[in-house]
Each structure stands twice: as structure tokens, then as C-alpha cells.
Amino acid sequence: MYKNTALLVAAALSLGAVGAHADDAAAPATNAATNAAAAPAAAPVECRSDNPPWFNLCRLLPYEPTYIVHRTASHDEAAVRGDFSLRYVLWAADENGQTLAHPIRYERGPEAFVSYTGEFDYYAGTRPSSPVVNRISNPAAHLRYYLQTDALNWVDLGLEHSSDGQTVGTKSARDIARANEEYAAGNHSYFDGLSRSMNFVSAEVESGNVDSLLLRARVKRYITTDSAVTWGPLAGRDISFRDYDRLRLVLEHRFGDSLLGDVTWRAGDNGLAGDSVDLGLRFDAWKTLPLYLHAHFGPMGTLANYTESQRSIGIGLKFSD
């Protein structure tokens, strides 16, 4: 009898223990579910790369817009224009200075990166030999701080170089005579070979929301420029890039899920006398075919002949904003 009683007591204790463990397991599960419901959105999944640490493809991201369009322009032949822009994140941290394992962020903190933006025109069948003309080569180093406030998303400081990669000079007596001769003859393709370059410090801020309205403002402080105009009516007037490209404002607005519009306005020390406007409209109805319309009005159509006012329109694909 005592033996059976002992067995019954042992069984009861075992069931009680199992029940206690079940209750203990259920409590954290319930708490976890409650916490999950109340917790903010999860941090982005860490991107993993098999490359060496100094070349982690997870840190290679879009920077300025990347697109390719077939364009027609005043004072020029039709061409395929390509713009491409990437940045590589060297270092990113949270607001406490702790290094982040991934460059995609939703929190406050600093970031250091390098960028490269390029532009070219391909005159396929519209000029002899169908040349590819380099328009912009723009390497830069940046330090950015993400604020993530209602007023500002981030502030950015950059040390930048921009040039067109061409070799024809503009300052010697021979170069000046040749430029005026080609200008009088209306040979606009000659000016595509003019060497242009600038070194500058940029300061930029972004505000708004990518799902509705986004605004970016950038100002340049020029260090050096090679931008002399020695032909035509502007010859000898000490014209420079700073007269046409000191301030840039970019406005992006999303119209529902299928349309994204952008407006870029540039102005320099000459104010409205030398400003230019770019308009763009991307159709996102087909995710794999992001159709893009782009138009330009005013100077700064190219670095080589940046003072010439030009109107152009193009259609193609836009891959990043």
C-alpha cells in the first residue's frame, strides 16, 4: 500500500513539474508575442559578402540618379546619354559611435563614403565614326550624418573633383584663335573636346519622405576651376562655373505607386540669368522596365560648352534615384 501511495505521489509530482515547465515556457512565448507586437520595425538584415573586407559588395550602393536615354537636343545631334553613379560606404556607425555591420540604416549616426558619378554621350550613327564623348567624371569623398528628424534626414560634406576628361586647351593664342574660328563656322562638335575641370567642397541636406515628397539642397564652394570662355560674345568676361552652378535644388514627388517626378534647378552667381532646369518622370508600373522621360532647359547641358543654352528631351530607362 505504501509502495503504491509512493508511486502515486511521485507521478503527481512529475505531472506537476511538467505542468510548471509548460507554464514557464508559455509565459515567455506570450511575452515574446506581446513584445513583438509592440516592438518597432526590425533592423535590416545584414548583407553578407564573400569578398575581402576592403571590397564588400554589400557596401556598394546607388548615389546620384542612374539612367540611360536617347535624347535629341538643340545645337547638337541625337545621342544616347548615360548617367551612372555609385557610392562605397567605408564606415558607418550609430549615434554612439558603434560601428554598424551593414551600410543600410534607419538610425542616427555618421557615415563616410566615396562616390563616383559619370556621364557620356554615344552618337550612334549621327556623327562620323559614332563617337562616345565623355561628359562628366566626378570622384568624391563624403562625410554624412543621418539625423532622421522631421526637419532633416541627413547633412553631407563632400570634397569633389569634376572634369570632362578632354584635352583641348582654351587659353593659348592658338587655342583661342581656333575656338573663335570653329565658333564662327558653327562647328559645335569641336567644343566637345575642350578640357574642363573643377575642384570644390560641397554641402548638402535632405528633407522629406521617399514615399511622398523629398527635397535636397546643395551648395558648392569652388577651390579651383578650368572654365575660361575665350570665344564668342562671352570672351574676356571672366566667366566661370560658379556663375552657373553654385546652388542645386532637387525636388522629387511620388504620384501613387506608378509615377515618380523630379525637378532639378541650378543657379550660380548670375542668378536667374544663368539658371537651368532638368525635369524627369519615371513610370514604375512595370518594375522590370522603369521607363523614364528626361528634359533639360538652359545652360550646363555639358561641361565643355557649359554657357550654351540648350533644350533637350530624351526617353529611356532609369535604374536608381
Largest CA distance in the chain: 123
Residue 163 has pLDDT above 60, yes or no: yes
Number of alpha helices (DSSP H) and beta strands (DSSP E) in the chain: 2, 13
Distances (CA, A) of 194 to 9, 184, 229, 279: 98, 16, 10, 27
The conformation of residue 58, written as its DSSP 8-state character, comes to G
Which grid coordinates are listed for 304?
A: 565643355
Which grid coordinates are listed for 188?
A: 559645335
SS (H, E, C) 84-105: EEEEEEEEEECCCCCECCCCCC
| Contact between residue 289 and residue 56 where contact means Cβ atoms under 8 Å apart | no
218-246 confidence digits (pLDDT tens): 999 999 999 999 999 999 888 999 999 99
Which grid coordinates are listed for 14?
A: 512529475
Quick one: pLDDT band at residue 15, thresholds 50, 70, 90? very low
Percent of the chain with pLDDT over 90: 68
| Rounded-to-integer distance, Cα 270 and Cα 82, Å | 29
Cα torsion angle, 181, 185, 190, 191, sign: positive
Among candidate residues 297, 293, 292, the one with its CA nearest the CA of residue 278: 297
Among candidate residues 201, 196, 202, 208, the one with its CA nearest the CA of residue 300: 196
| Rounded-to-integer distance, Cα 21 and Cα 259, Å | 56
Higher pLDDT, residue 47 or 302: 302
Distances (CA, A) of 235 to 20, 172, 227, 232, 299: 91, 13, 12, 6, 16
Phi, psi of 120 (to 5 degrees): -145, 160
The β-bridge relationship of strands 213-226 and 271-283 is unpaired
The DSSP element (H or E) to which 275 belongs, if any, is strand 271-283
Which grid coordinates are listed for 264?
A: 532639378
166-216 confidence digits (pLDDT tens): 989 888 999 999 999 999 999 999 999 999 999 999 999 999 988 889 999
Average pLDDT score over residue span 280-305: 93
Give the number of C-alpha atoms closer than 13 A to the C-alpha of residue 265, restricted to the C-beta side: 9
What is the structure's pLDDT at 321? 84
Q: What is the mean pLDDT of the chain?
A: 85
Radius of gyration of the chain (CA): 29
Average pLDDT score over residue span 255-262: 91
Give the number of C-alpha atoms closer than 13 A to the C-alpha of residue 119, restricted to the C-beta side: 16
Percent composition of the chain: helix, strand, coil (DSSP 3-state, to 5)? 20, 45, 35
Q: Which residue has cell 526637419?
A: 151
Its pTM stands at 0.82
Which distant-in-sequence residues (6+ apart) come within 8 Å of 280 by Cβ? 65, 261, 262, 263, 264, 292, 293, 294, 295, 318
Identify the CATH class of 53-320.
mainly beta
Cα torsion angle, 228, 70, 259, 154, sign: negative
Quick one: pLDDT band at residue 148, thresholds 50, 70, 90? confident
